[in-house]
Amino acid sequence: MELVRLLFRNVLRHKLRGILTIVGVGVAVMAFALLQTVVSAWYAGVEASAANRLISRHAVSFVFPLPLAYRDRIAQIPGVNKVTFASWFSGVYIDKNQFFARLAVDSDTFFDVYSEFLVPPEQFEVFKRERNAAIIGSDIAQRYNLKLGDIMPIEGDVFPGQWEFVVRGIYEPRDQTTDPTTMMFHYKYLEERVRQEMPQRAGDIGWYIVRIDDPDNSAAISQEIDKLFANSRAETKTETERAFQQSFLSAASAVITAMNVMSFVIIGIILLVVGNTMIMSARERTHEFAVLKALGFTGGQLFFLIAGESILLSLFGSALGLGVTFPAVAGFETALPKGWFPVFYIKPETVAIGCAAGLLVGVLAAIIPLRRVLTTRIVEGLRHVG
């Protein structure tokens, strides 16, 4: 018990240095957690991907459309469970800074394939009966204070003109990784106007989403789909939903990797901060430790005092950093332009790594001063003046 009391007295014997060390560790842990949260947000779409979904798009580029006639032919391939499709609508809601995904979808099949979008059955029934009805994510409803029955006027760009949609459904994300910022409406409504105003674009969709029975057959089914339309006017490229999502990250992969590396470099900075404090502390107390050894204190007891002080400093700093991280992440998300990161939250793994890093750094930072204390002879320690 006396050792524990002595340990806690040693932690803040030099109050300013101890407090600065704790604050330094806290700032580093907060920076680590923030960077990891940003990296996780970049990969949120990849993590949300389903293993049993394939994406079939135009082989040249995602921006080129595919014929709607492909749907029935894809559905006949063995192993295919259900086929749906979507088209990127884009458009401007309020102003160009208000970004969120706006999709024209096959309302009969889309929500079966994307079961992670939880729409109340009564709302979905109303949605299906109204041609210009829309379903929006809960985040959009909260952000713009929208409720059922409200009108969303959108100025088209990919599909020019003035469009008005009625909010008939608000979906909740099933998982934390599910995007709550998507607006979806009937493809048939889009097709009606396209046939009247842009007949050359009629019968085209953006991409197909193919649900398969067995994820292990994804490569073989992807090849079968692409063979089906080889040498056609619109060849396809089919891949898993995960690979499709990762393709969007390829342009920023260097930046994401750098951020990921930097977040772990910060762990090394924490080690240097705590290590420097412990080395200074041990050097100043060389005479004290020699006295303790002369009184019969064992190596285990000295280890408890030195490593315990180092671990406590690290853990106090980690706790401070993680405590500040949550409001810091919330503030960072608020400062970002709306729509940059549809899913932005601190993963439990990030908190666990922060805690584990604090414990590990505390142990490692104690190695050098502990070795110095244990190898210094009692006579030399008693002669030391520091």
52 part of a folded domain: no
Question: pLDDT for 299-339, tens place per residue?
Answer: 777 788 888 888 888 888 888 888 888 888 887 777 666 65
pLDDT score, position 128? 93
Summarize pLDDT for 59-85 with one digit per residue, the tens. Answer: 998 889 999 999 999 999 999 999 999
Residues 36, 261 contacting (CB under 8 angstroms)? no
Say whether both 293 and 357 belong to one domain: yes
Q: How many domains does the chain have?
A: 2
CA 206 – CA 183 distance, rounded (Å): 16
The answer to whether residues 177 and 211 belong to one domain is yes
Residues 306 and 356 in one domain: yes
Give yes or no: residues 89 and 203 share one domain.
yes
The dihedral sign for the CA sequence 176, 179, 183, 188 = negative
Q: Is residue 246 part of a domain?
A: no
88 & 20 share domain: no
Query: Is the residue at 247 inside a domain?
Result: no
Answer yes or no: is 244 within a domain.
Answer: no
DSSP string, 127-160: HHH-TTEEEEEHHHHHHTT--TT-EEEEEETTTT
Per the CB < 8 A criterion, the answer to whether 208 and 71 are in contact is yes
The answer to whether residue 158 sits within a structural domain is yes
Same domain, 91 and 35: no
Q: Are 161 and 196 in contact (CB under 8 A)?
A: no
242 occurs within a structural domain: no
The SS3 call for residue 63 is coil
Task: Kindly state whether residue 54 falls inside one of the protein's structural domains.
Answer: no
- Which of the listed residues 205, 234, 263 is the one where a domain comes to its end? 234
Query: How far apart are the C-alpha atoms of 189 and 55, rounded to whole Å?
Result: 23
Tell me the one-letter amino acid at 250. S
Contact criterion met (CB below 8 Å) for 123 and 168: yes
Does one domain contain both 301 and 203? no
* pLDDT score at 45: 62
Q: Do residues 202 and 128 both lie within one domain?
A: yes
Q: Does 366 share its domain with 287?
A: yes
Domain carrying residue 261: 2-45+252-383
Same domain, 208 and 289: no
Q: Which of 203, 234, 265 delimits the end of a domain?
A: 234
- The distance of Cα 64 from the centroid of its chain, to the nearest Å, equals 29
Please list the alpha-helical segments (H only) found in 285-366: 286-294, 299-335, 348-365
Q: Please, what is the Cα angle at 12 between 8 and 14, to 5 degrees?
A: 145
205 domain-assigned: yes
Q: Which of 234, 268, 299 is the last residue of a domain?
A: 234
Residue numbers of the chain with a pLDDT score lower than 70: 1, 44-48, 248-254, 335-342, 381-386
Same-domain check for residues 133 and 191 = yes
Tell me: do 77 and 157 sit in the same domain: yes
Give me 212's structure tokens: 């398969």
